[in-house]
Structure 1
Amino acid sequence: MPEEQVLGGRYRLLSRLGAGGMGEVWKAVDELLDRPVAVKLIQPERVDSAEAAARFRREVRLTARLAGHPNVVILHDFGHDADDGRAAGAVFAVMELVQGRPLTEVLRESGPMPLARAATLASQAASGLGAAHAAGIVHRDVKPGNLMVIERGSSEGTLKVLDFGIAALTAATRTDRITRTGQVVGTPLYMSPEQIRGDQVDRPSDLYSLGAILFQLLTGKPPFRDPNPLTVLRMHLTDAPPSAATVRPEIPRELSDLVTALLAKRPEDRPAHAEEVRERLAPFLPPLRPSPAPSPVPAPALAPTRPYTEEAPRRPEPETAVHPSRLRELVEAARARVDAGEYGPAAEELRALLPLLSTALGKDHPDTLRARRREAYATGKSGDHARAVRGFEALLPDLVRLYGPRHPETLAVRYYLATNAGRAGDHALAARTHAGLLPDLVSVHGEDAERVLSTRLYLAFELGESGEPGRAVESLASLVPDLARLRGGDDALTLRARHYQAAYLGHSGRPEEAVRHYEALVAHHTRLHGENATRTRTVRSHLAQWQERVRR
């Protein structure tokens, strides 16, 4: 390709950075926005069908949702240029230009890494993958060559996942050729068993690949090795992986167990999501900045007992600075109190720790954000729902900015915000939050997922309580059949939805219909529980109330 070629009338190619299985990567300048970019020219045979081209466009559009995540190389644009000197034209992707090295090179130089650095890099990879999974994106080709390490500014390095949206084409072609012809395309060292078999590939496949990488970070070698690539594929399918702690005895058992869990043959036996991986890696992360020795004084005694605000927290005096590892211990102790049901004391302890966490780790650090979520959660469970709402409302914009709206942490906070708003009496806020949450839950979990069904029920309830019983009835008219189909007519959630349906029919000006629904519901409860059961008597009392209104 001639120098100074311009693609799409906008991207001027300056110098070739490298080449690989997908094509060439060029340093370029976006002349419209006057910024440096990386342009990947994709081999025409990768997108030589309408189906492949459609898949590429779909993946790239999804990838745009990840813009701004610190552990993702942003994909800015894509296009097709017929004037590049090739008969077929150039299919290209435009990405953030990152000044770093592939993890492949770092591993080649380092061998087994210190535990803290290995945990840090793997945690950052899990962060990028988790954000993608929450947005409905599966990478499908997680390997060291697709992980970029930026080594300035942090002793452990900053890691970014690249080739989201592009890897789908590589993985689809690779799996198809392996299963049809036995030909290995690319490296098999990090491929999941389901990908090798040609089964449907989903988020657990990315986590398996991350487990193989974490094994290599810790031990210096991938879990399965052989000169023959097909033998490596067979080992992924049939052989138990070696224990990382057996290869390197100083690896803690909990860290070795995480690697083993990630490398489970069955997807359902692996960690549930990338956020769980990050939580299990957290105890092995290093302090993020030099710090004095751990303070013997408990942090809550050092911190002002006030709610977290977005204002910059006051730095503790030097003599009261608390080591990050000590802060994490105190957070875990407060979390244990939450688990034990001691919500009020736990909320106070976490509230006192938040300014120290923000100072020591940074306000955007995952540990700080999780502590804010747990403080608001414990506050709500203690009965102070209005204060919990304020905490979740302050936290939510930060999670959306850092992780996107569909990350597991963001989804959890949106749910807690809605439930606490309803319990605080702000049913309109609760309804708005549930309504906004619902389509994202459907996208992540599917229409029939438990979380989706319960959120639909809560949305209907909050609509009814906020003065919109007609909209509640409309929602319940489709929800009740879905619950009966998926959970059965005798399920408690199905019966509760029918109860709401009857009540909001009456409140929307249709009392005769409410009576008919309650009559059917009383008969159902009588059959299930007997006519003198508490639940039966409760429904019967509602029936009597609406019968009285009809007689008036």
Structure 2
Amino acid sequence: MADARLIQGRYQLLDLIGRGGMGEVWRARDESLGRQVAVKCLRPHGPHHDQSFTRVLRERFRREARVAAALQHRGVTVVHDFGESDGVLFLVMELLKGRNLSQLLEDNERRPLPVADIVDIAEQMADALAYTHQQGIVHRDLKPANIVRLTDGTAKICDFGIARLGADIGFTTRLTGTGIAMGTPHYMSPEQIGGEEVDQRSDLYSLGCVLYELATGTPPFDLDDAWAILIGHRDTPPRPPREHRPELPAHLEEIILHLLAKEPGQRPHDAREIGARIGAARTTSALTPPEVAGPAAPASREPRLPSWTRGMTTGHKAAGAGPRGTPPQGLAALCAEWTAPPAPDHDSAPDHDPAPVPVAKTTPTPSPSTLAALAKRHNAGLSLGRLGRWAEAGEMHRAVAAERERLLGADHPDTLASRYEVAFTLSRTGHPADALREYTHVAQVRARVLGPDHPDTLAARQETAYALGQLGRPLEAHQEYTAVLAARERTMGPDHPDTLRCRHNLAFNLGRLGRLEDSCRTAAEVATARARVLGPDHPDTLVTRYEVAYALGQLDRWAEALDCYREVAEGRERTLGPDHPDTLAARHETGVCLGRLGRSAEALGVYRELVADRARVHGATHPETLRARHGLGVNLGRLGRWEEALAESRDLCAIRERTLGADHPDTLISRREVAVALGWLGRWPDALAEYRTVAAARERVLGADHPDSLTSRSDEAHCLQQLGRGAEAVELYRRVAVLRERQATGGH
């Protein structure tokens, strides 16, 4: 995001304040309202990779935005705005001034917090969770790092990025992926670990883990082995907090242990009960919890932990101090061995050692258990990537790559596999130049070790082409794609999925080179082949068909584009469902095509139905709903129904101004449509006022020589001409022409 400092012409990114599973968080200035905000950004995958996962990642972000924006509570972070700008999904939140609980524990040298602070935080969290649970929302990743205490003492829950709507469990399950429980091992409930359905009582268990750590300085199961942590949550009674800290009030210990009951039915019924008990404890010396079975370990049974848990790290816990001493910090903690560590190899020393011990240059053969542990950590990195946690995945792969290089050598296929994944995470975290360097190295070594036509070599070369495209070097990317495609066709055949993916990328890159006819033809060939190999309704086939339609539109072949978009919409409805965002997107494009073809009455019908469906699925004020309403208004005007078009544009402009801000590009587009309608109705003085408002806002946000600003000034000049103010119109046209010429010559 460093190269895109202004989002939607409104949010000026100032400095990076954090990276998380869903992207980067920036401190920013809302230029429209003159306030500082936090902007969370996600740049989804490009079209070269797994399109279905890209859609999942985009939809998960949109789900986070919709869920978070609906929450209005003092204990929940406020969301101001969300949308998409130049391929970047963004979420605008209040900028919190304070420290998260993990930082507070670190500030306190990993000692427990004062009892008064714990009680205050617990009461606020119970109130916030009671509210969110009443809305049908389960956080699913409650931990100290996701709870911020402001300077005035207010505690707020952050990051509903993996929130689960209780009334929409099937949808969220698709977003998280079959068999993948989301959360952080130190704070996960037994049912979440077991891959079972979860409800608000899972959040209560996580709250118990957080309060346990605040009260004792260590999580309930403070183990360095992720498997042991999971077993502990499932089977082992937690050590009573007062064994760590005898002065802790008994009633607080009882509440914490009640929250940590293994079975959901043995925990408090809801968060309001916890809040009431904490409030009562402020005025009484002790509090007896309701009679429930104690949190004894269940009878011996076979482990029911799913297979995905074997690819997990321990994750970051808030504090590291525990009864076994200080565990490794940072990357060392993240990548700690889950089995007994291998015997030290004195051929190299850890980074923190003052110097390696000089010994003979011999590399002992690593044990099978060591290699298995590295493979698990490699798979854990892949899992983090599938969850969109690219920064963490990158740390994991870098550590595994270094260890594999030490044990196996720099040219070993496993070492190269890890370095390939390092490059992949660099590409996904906005470092294409670093990714290109890493991919180039992997490709060169694989060509030497495995051969130039080996599938792994070609995979690395194809990624170098993608990175070149990211860096604005499409000609070099084209040369690399062409060479890789020739090798894939020679060794794998023209219909192999990898060959077709490479041809799809090549078609996209041809568009970057301005070779629209070639791009369209190549994409059509890929779509035909994918339909034959994968089926006409396969998501990959439909993605390529969508790109064909887009290319046809760029070539002004709107009738063909219309047929293509309709086929895509019908296929997606059969495969993904009528309400899937991709289905609705294809329907929107059919409306665009109908309008371009002069078939505005049909387009109007498409947009009316789309507005209704978008409002039902996303809400009446969702950006995509409003975008469909914009199309409706435009086609009312094309039909000469200008009074209706004016009313629609004014209403839409008011909603966008209220939800997005007066200077938001979408708001200004709607205001321009208001001016257009006023002009067609002969109300030129009113139209002039609107055109001038749009022009002034665009110049303020984008600059006087931006193409949109120049278009607005041309609109203003036309309006002046209609009002008989020819001299002013000519002068304004002259100014616009000078700025356009200066822009065309690079400012000289």
TM-score bracket for the superposition, by shorter chain length: 0.3 to 0.5
Larger RCO (CA under 8 A, 6+ residues apart): 1
- Give the number of the structure whose alpha-carbon radius of gyration is greater: 2
TM-score normalised by length of structure 2: 0.34
